[in-house]
Structure 1
Amino acid sequence: MSEASGVRADRGRDRDTEGRARNARPRDGLGRPLPYGAQGVARQPEGVVRAPLDSVTEAQALLDEGKPFHAHEVFEDAWKSGPDEERALWRGLAQLAVGLTHAARGNTTGGARLLRRGAGAVHAWAAETGQDRPYGLAVAELLVWAEELATAAEQETTPVDARAWAPRLRGEQS
């Protein structure tokens, strides 16, 4: 069992302490698996229940560090642990972070699709609920950012810079 990850190898597969398959390989800042023994970045803990404002703050810090994959994990936790009526919002935000992740990995087509899918989900949720700044999120600005990045990613021949393209979740003031 790896002390740091709480994951053990079992018949050639990594497993967590409850026996579920879980990859223990280190990962880079964009969440890509690295070879065993390589120096990776600290993994984002999964299954953490946070207050919504804490989720937004933590995700913004990770985005600012150029770690959109890790920000996606924070949004995914909020999506899975939050109230049913907010799941579409958090899922959409997770898709935006994954879209940035894919664009930064060089998967421009997948990145653009996820950005547009996430933006559509956030837009639909905001329209349905009448909320344009839930938890301080600048929904209108996020939608513009997502479309600009999707368009840029489709025109790029190289991966985008995740840090340079990090969205301002609370708008320009965040």
Structure 2
Amino acid sequence: MDRLLSVGLLAAIALPLMAGLSHAQRSSDDPGAAAAPIVAGYLERMTLTKHRLTFEAKLDSGADTSSLNAEGIEQTRKSGRAMARFTLVDDTGRRAVVEAPVVRTARIRRAGTGPVERPVVVLDVCIAGVSGKAEFTLTDRSGMSAQVLIGRRFMARRILIDPSRRHLGSGRCGRPN
């Protein structure tokens, strides 16, 4: 009973605070100060800013790294640097061929099968009014409900998820966070 009371009290305090954070200013008089995290739904619109492609992204606190549906993934070397070249198709059908440095290789463990290795690239994104650089594993997500999965690394100290809601973010990005 005491545990139930504690959980209820915590929810009564935390939920109004989280609701207030959803309207937090994304800028500050102190340029070094971190902006308060915003509250976003479990689904939000995401734009790859340099490529002007827009996707519906699923925010997933269970995933460490973000993941992006990519077609025709080719890994090469350019001037001694590992590169990935791949095609993206956004929700409107717009296509872009992207070439980006591979910053690392992620080893993904899946239930029932052995681990797989996926290239990881960094791309500029705007999601729910928050802009910044996100690490993405490249893979075929065509069978998944969302082409883009946003993981904890990008959301940390930037975004809190309301799992009962969708599309809470403004979608407009200002300065990078």
Fold conserved between structures, TM > 0.5:
no
Higher relative contact order (CA 8 A, sep 6+): 2
* Higher share of residues assigned strand: 2
TM-score (norm 2): 0.24
TM-score (norm 1): 0.24
